[in-house]
Amino acid sequence: MSGGRFKVFLIKPSRYDDDGYVIQWRRSLIPANSLASVYGLVRHSADVRIFGPDIEIEVVAIDECNTVVNCQRIARQIEEAGAGLICLVGVQSNQFPRSVDIARQFRDKNIAVVIGGFHVSGCLSMLPALPEDIQEVLDMGVSLFAGEAEGQMENLLRDAFERKLRPIYNCLHELPNLDGAQIPILPAENIRRQVTDFTSFDAGRGCPFQCSFCTIINVQGRKSRYRTADDVEEIIRANAAQGVTNFFVTDDNFARNRNWESILDRIIWLRENEGFKPSLIFQVDTLCHRIPGFIEKVARAGCISVFIGLENINPESLMGSKKRQNKIWEYREMLLAWRHSGVITCAGYILGFPTDTPASIARDIETIQRELPIDILEFFLLTPLPGSEDHKRMYMAGVSMDSDMNRYDLEHACADHPTMDRATLEKVYRDAWSLYYTDSHVETLIRRASVSNLRSQRKLIDDLTLFFRRRSHRERSPVAIRVVSPQGQNPAAACNAGRQSPCILSCPIW
């Protein structure tokens, strides 16, 4: 081809709710770093004109959580350009069925599609054979990408351009060095589709620990890889140039990022010398308070909230899932250290460990309310996520697991529990929100916050408002305004019939 355009659509799919509707929001809460990472890579390929000076690569990023994916229109744009590619990005297991339905509509028009993300990577990493759902997309002529795209994207785009995409790109054993890698970034118009003005980036990948419910270690590896302080400064400056100054740092455990100190020192320097005032959210582990200066520097850098993988307060549950690094007797000290620094603590708590019962869960929640100074508690059901050791073990042993991947969202019971049936487990999950977010406990949290000098009381109130609503069970996801799009039970048919918009806003709170 001499002269022309190559149109790349990066689509981060949503998933279906229990009634078969695509879950969408007028504005979503948190941007997908997966989308930012892949966008950064394709944007770079476009900027350096990898197909030569005459061919322009145009790239569009779409997060289906806040944008209706109009497959007809996208297909038309690719046809008008004469060439292009659909990338389904950061596809988790719970988003895989939706991805297949999107992919099918493009394959029907003979448009090339590649799917990447944790479902493909997790299954290819852990299972001895391709599961049926993945085989189905291969049979549709969709290409699969497993592993990380840094260092791989140009080749993949070239293959797509030359119409010789391979069925599988398995790059799981070529994990890239992140030092100096292309930075994740999203255009500001994507960030404006959210309730908050946060964007996201990862300062590192991989984790040294071995939790059996975790997929990360089997996809991104146990050897941690890091961006440098220079890389992080580049990310901050590139975003600031488009008016975006707040960041969710998506590392699963920033405390184990070997470069944590130089990265924080750089952010502090930018804050104190160049007038950058980023608000930051980090994910950390329960031992981070032992690292000298860590909490203090995180706070000085501008952190308003941390997400902590508390997981459980029963030693046997933690031992059973190989989360040996969580020391329950240190939780209080760790939480107080964050409180003294004015940082909101949001802790993840997993329900459904083998020894859990409805009574033991209720008792544990009461203990947490009474003894642990946590601000926000977020509940998840223990789920055999494809890519985890738990899933592999159950798959190999032929244990019954839900075949509907939509349900692997940590809110549905996807496997049997030794003493609770799946309906009971889901009820326990729903009840947990009501047990924790009682009127009196929410009052305690607000009173505690008002004497704690939190850096962002506003964020705490916003978070409490979102999570408090969950106890009513009216809404499954605590995010902004829900858009019910009319593709409904049969998204493919509705999309093909061009009925995808206008959206009907159903707004239960505002």
Binding site for ligand SF4 (CB under 6 A): 207, 209-211, 214, 216-217, 252-253, 285, 309
Could you say whether residue 148 binds ligand B12 (CB under 6 A)?
A: yes
Q: Which two tokens stand for residue 357?
A: 């019962």
Q: Give the x-and-dash track for 226-265 against ligand B12 (CB under 6 A).
A: ------------------------x-x-------------
Q: Taking the complex as a whole, how short is the minimal distance between the CB of residue 212 and ligand SF4, in angstroms?
A: 9
Q: Taking the complex as a whole, how short is the minimal distance between the CB of residue 273 and ligand B12, in angstroms?
A: 29
Judged by CB under 6 A, which of 137, 214, 415, 435 binds ligand B12?
214
> 108 Cβ partners below 8 Å, 6+ apart?
none
Could you say whether residue 34 binds ligand B12 (CB under 6 A)?
A: yes
Q: Which is nearer to ligand SF4, 32 or 153 (CB)?
A: 32
Tell me the C-alpha distance between 401 and 386, whole Å: 11
**Three-state secondary structure call for residue 110:** coil
**Three-state secondary structure call for residue 417:** coil
From the list 327, 324, 265, 325, the residue with the least C-alpha distance to 298 is: 265
Q: Give the x-and-dash track for 333-372 against ligand B12 (CB under 6 A).
A: ----------------------------------------
Cβ pair 224, 258 in contact under 8 A: yes
The label of the residue with tokens 């799946």 reads 422
The label of the residue with tokens 């607000």 reads 446
Q: Which is nearer to ligand SF4, 246 or 312 (CB)?
A: 312
Could you say whether residue 306 binds ligand B12 (CB under 6 A)?
A: no
The distance of Cα 108 from the centroid of its chain, to the nearest Å, equals 29
Query: Could you say which of ligand SF4, ligand B12, none residue 468 binds, taking C-beta under 5 to 8 angstroms by partner kind?
Result: none
Cβ pair 134, 120 in contact under 8 A: yes
The label of the residue with tokens 């009840």 reads 431
- Pick left, alpha or beta for residue 90 (phi over 0 → left; psi -120 to 50 → alpha; otherwise beta): left
Q: Which is nearer to ligand SF4, 207 or 263 (CB)?
A: 207
Q: Which is nearer to ligand B12, 172 or 368 (CB)?
A: 172
Tell me the C-alpha distance between 64 and 18, whole Å: 17
Q: Taking the complex as a whole, how short is the minimal distance between the CB of residue 309 and ligand SF4, in angstroms?
A: 5
Name the packing angle between helices 96-107 and 71-81 (round to 10°): 50
Size of the site for ligand B12 (CB under 6 A): 37
> 189 Cβ partners below 8 Å, 6+ apart?
none
Query: Could you say which of ligand B12, ligand SF4, none residue 148 binds, taking C-beta under 5 to 8 angstroms by partner kind?
Result: ligand B12
From the list 43, 223, 102, the residue with the least C-alpha distance to 494 is: 102
> 362 Cβ partners below 8 Å, 6+ apart?
431, 435
Q: Which is nearer to ligand B12, 259 or 452 (CB)?
A: 259
Judged by CB under 6 A, which of 8, 22, 38, 172 binds ligand B12?
38
Query: Could you say which of ligand B12, ligand SF4, none residue 253 binds, taking C-beta under 5 to 8 angstroms by partner kind?
Result: ligand SF4
Classify residue 419 by its DSSP letter.
Answer: S
Q: Which is nearer to ligand SF4, 209 or 282 (CB)?
A: 209
Q: Taking the complex as a whole, how short is the minimal distance between the CB of residue 117 and ligand B12, in angstroms?
A: 4
Lateral strand order in the sheet of 344-351? 198-201, 246-249, 280-284, 303-311, 344-351, 376-381
Could you say whether residue 182 binds ligand B12 (CB under 6 A)?
A: no
Q: Which residue number is nearest to ligand B12 in terms of Cβ?
A: 116
Q: Which is nearer to ligand SF4, 311 or 364 (CB)?
A: 311
Lateral strand order in the sheet of 113-116? 55-63, 4-12, 84-88, 113-116, 143-146, 168-170
The distance of Cα 194 from the centroid of its chain, to the nearest Å, equals 15
Cβ pair 195, 26 in contact under 8 A: no
Q: Give the x-and-dash track for 380-399 against ligand B12 (CB under 6 A).
A: -----xxx------------
Q: Taking the complex as a whole, how short is the minimal distance between the CB of residue 344 and ligand SF4, in angstroms?
A: 20
Q: Which stretch binds ligand B12 (CB under 6 A): 146-154, 256-264, 315-323, 457-465?
A: 146-154
Cβ pair 156, 109 in contact under 8 A: no
Tell me the C-alpha distance between 59 and 28, whole Å: 21
Q: Taking the complex as a whole, how short is the minimal distance between the CB of residue 32 and ligand B12, in angstroms?
A: 4
Q: Taking the complex as a whole, how short is the minimal distance between the CB of residue 353 and ligand SF4, in angstroms?
A: 14
Query: Could you say which of ligand SF4, ligand B12, none residue 438 binds, taking C-beta under 5 to 8 angstroms by partner kind?
Result: none
From the list 66, 129, 64, the residue with the least C-alpha distance to 95 is: 64
Q: Which residues bind ligand B12 (CB under 6 A)?
A: 30, 32-34, 37-38, 65, 87, 89-90, 92-94, 114, 116-119, 121-122, 145, 148-150, 156, 202, 214-216, 220, 250, 252, 385-387, 409-410
